């Protein structure tokens, strides 16, 4: 037998894989516990990526529908003292000319000491002093707020033009006052002036704070109490088409006050993509860290178990070496076992993570969103981490001399 012939022994790769699987299946309990770390790590990883993708999808569809389609413009506090009403009288007309604007309106709060409310005219509410604020709002502001009534009606542009002395109240106040119907023409006294209640709100999706208020036409408020005070500056509410928020925000000040732009502050809607990115980033960085820790724990577990396995199987290592196994075959045996554990653990973890994402989405009536590569990558990540974890113990096993392994293994 020459050297060339000696080198010609070919060890079947499938045989090594079969041996690895056989070694794992003969100790199912240990194999299960060894793979648990990988299951948790990959499971958390898939769940995190899936949940953030699913949550982002919800932010896209729900958030943009309301918040991302409104721009607000407020008076700066300083100029109010000198120019009590910095908003031009034709504010709404100017703003509606901007491309992308759907509607616009002004709103401000009337201080309680200026406009005390007395509910005495309402039958059964004599002497009651409602806690809600009196708010001046133009009909356009009510439309921007997406205000709807459960009874009666909202005042319109005609009432605004006529400076009608009418009031729309919120549902809580209506219940407190016992206003179940408007057929008796109930009225409230505000600053000694009678204001018939013409409507009771049911909803104000964009400005739910209105549900606690008493709302009067802004023209009426101005005629009775004057322009907005320094302590309660006016706010312009502008509803815009989806995606037009930032463009409108950029043009708003120039349209409203081209000569004194510093008197106003514009609040643009948050960019949904930026918001989604922020949510993704904060959630992902937190949970990816958690997933990383789980994977690390899994790696340590696999490394530890492989070490113990090497010590327990010294006799087997010695036998394999005696039967012609080279060092690389011994290392391959342990690496193969760890990789199989990692792959199966990663697969199970990916399926569990997928289950968490789908379960959460079903519970919240969301649409589950999970990039397919995440599920496919689960077993690969599991196998790779397990492989890395087993490198050192596998090399240690390979370095053991056959005679040492046989002697220690037999003792």
Partner 1 sequence: MSTSTSEVAGGSAYELDGVGKVYGAGRGEAPFAALQDVSVRIPAGAFTTVVGPSGSGKSTLLALLGLLDQPSSGCVTIAGRATDRMREKDRCVMRARQLAFVFQAFHLMPHRTVLDNVMLGGLYRGLDRSQRRDQAWAQLARVGLTAKAANRAATLSGGERQRIAIARSLLGSPQILLCDEPTGNLDTTNGTAVVSLLTELSDSGLTVVLVTHDEHIAAMGDHRLSVLDGRVSGDGCG
Interacting residues with partner 1 (CB under 8 A): 1, 3, 5-12, 14-16, 18-19, 22, 26-27, 315-316, 318-327, 329, 401-403, 406, 409-410
At residue 234, the 3 state secondary structure works out as coil
Question: Between residues 20 and 190, which has the closer beta carbon with respect to partner 1?
Answer: 20
Residue 247: C-alpha distances to residues 96, 143, 241, 244, 253 (Å): 14, 21, 10, 5, 12
Torsion of CA 261, 263, 268, 274, to 10 degrees: 90
Q: How far is the CB of 23 from partner 1 (least distance, A)?
A: 8
Q: How far is the CB of 301 from partner 1 (least distance, A)?
A: 22
Name the residue among 403, 387, 382 with its Cα closest to residue 44: 382
Q: How far is the CB of 291 from partner 1 (least distance, A)?
A: 34
Compute the C-alpha angle 173/176/180, nearest 5°: 85
Question: Between residues 209 and 312, which has the closer beta carbon with respect to partner 1?
Answer: 312
Answer whether 161's CB lies under 8 Å from 113's CB: no
Q: How far is the CB of 340 from partner 1 (least distance, A)?
A: 16
Question: Between residues 218 and 306, which has the closer beta carbon with respect to partner 1?
Answer: 306
Both tokens of 15, joined, read: 């045989």
Residue 290: C-alpha distances to residues 51, 185, 285, 302, 376 (Å): 14, 62, 9, 18, 20
Distance (Å, rounded) from C-alpha 409 to C-alpha 405? 6
Q: How far is the CB of 302 from partner 1 (least distance, A)?
A: 21
Question: Between residues 174 and 397, which has the closer beta carbon with respect to partner 1?
Answer: 397
Q: How far is the CB of 305 from partner 1 (least distance, A)?
A: 17
Phi, psi of 186 (to 5 degrees): -65, 155
């Amino acid at each position: 037998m020459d050297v060339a012939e000696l080198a010609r022994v070919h060890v079947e790769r499938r045989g090594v894989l079969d041996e690895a699987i056989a070694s794992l299946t003969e100790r199912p309990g240990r194999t299960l516990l060894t793979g648990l770390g990988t299951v948790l790590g990959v499971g958390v990883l898939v769940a995190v990526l899936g949940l953030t993708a699913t949550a982002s999808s919800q932010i896209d569809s729900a958030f943009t529908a309301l918040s991302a389609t409104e721009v607000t413009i407020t008076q700066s506090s300083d100029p109010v003292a000198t120019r009590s009403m910095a908003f031009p009288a034709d504010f709404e007309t100017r703003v509606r000319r901007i491309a992308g604007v759907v509607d616009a309106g002004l709103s401000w709060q009337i201080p309680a000491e200026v406009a005390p409310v007395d509910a005495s005219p309402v039958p059964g509410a004599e002497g009651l002093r409602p806690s809600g604020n009196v708010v001046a709002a133009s009909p356009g502001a009510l439309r921007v707020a997406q205000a709807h009534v459960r009874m009666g009606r909202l005042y319109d542009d005609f009432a605004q033009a006529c400076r009608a002395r009418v009031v729309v109240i919120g549902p809580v106040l209506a219940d407190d006052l016992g206003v179940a119907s408007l057929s008796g023409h109930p009225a409230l006294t505000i600053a000694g002036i009678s204001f018939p209640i013409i409507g009771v709100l049911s909803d104000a999706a964009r400005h739910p704070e209105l549900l606690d208020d008493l709302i009067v036409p802004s023209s009426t408020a101005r005629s009775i109490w004057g322009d907005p005070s320094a302590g309660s500056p006016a706010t312009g509410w502008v509803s815009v088409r989806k995606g037009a928020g930032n463009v409108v925000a950029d043009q708003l000040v120039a349209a409203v006050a081209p000569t004194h732009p510093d008197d106003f502050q514009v609040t643009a809607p948050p960019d949904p993509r930026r918001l989604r990115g922020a949510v993704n980033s904060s959630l992902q960085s937190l949970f990816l860290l958690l997933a990383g820790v789980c994977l690390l724990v899994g790696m340590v577990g696999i490394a530890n178990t492989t070490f113990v396995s090497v010590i327990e199987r010294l006799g087997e290592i010695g036998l394999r070496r005696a039967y012609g196994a080279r060092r690389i075959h011994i290392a391959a045996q342990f690496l193969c076992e760890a990789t199989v554990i990692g792959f199966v653990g990663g697969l199970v973890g990916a399926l569990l993570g997928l289950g968490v994402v789908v379960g959460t989405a079903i519970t919240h009536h969301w649409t589950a969103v999970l990039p397919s590569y995440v599920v496919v990558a689960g077993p690969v990540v599991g196998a790779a981490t397990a492989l890395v974890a087993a490198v050192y113990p596998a090399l240690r096993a390979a370095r053991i001399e056959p005679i040492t392994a046989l002697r220690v293994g037999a003792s």
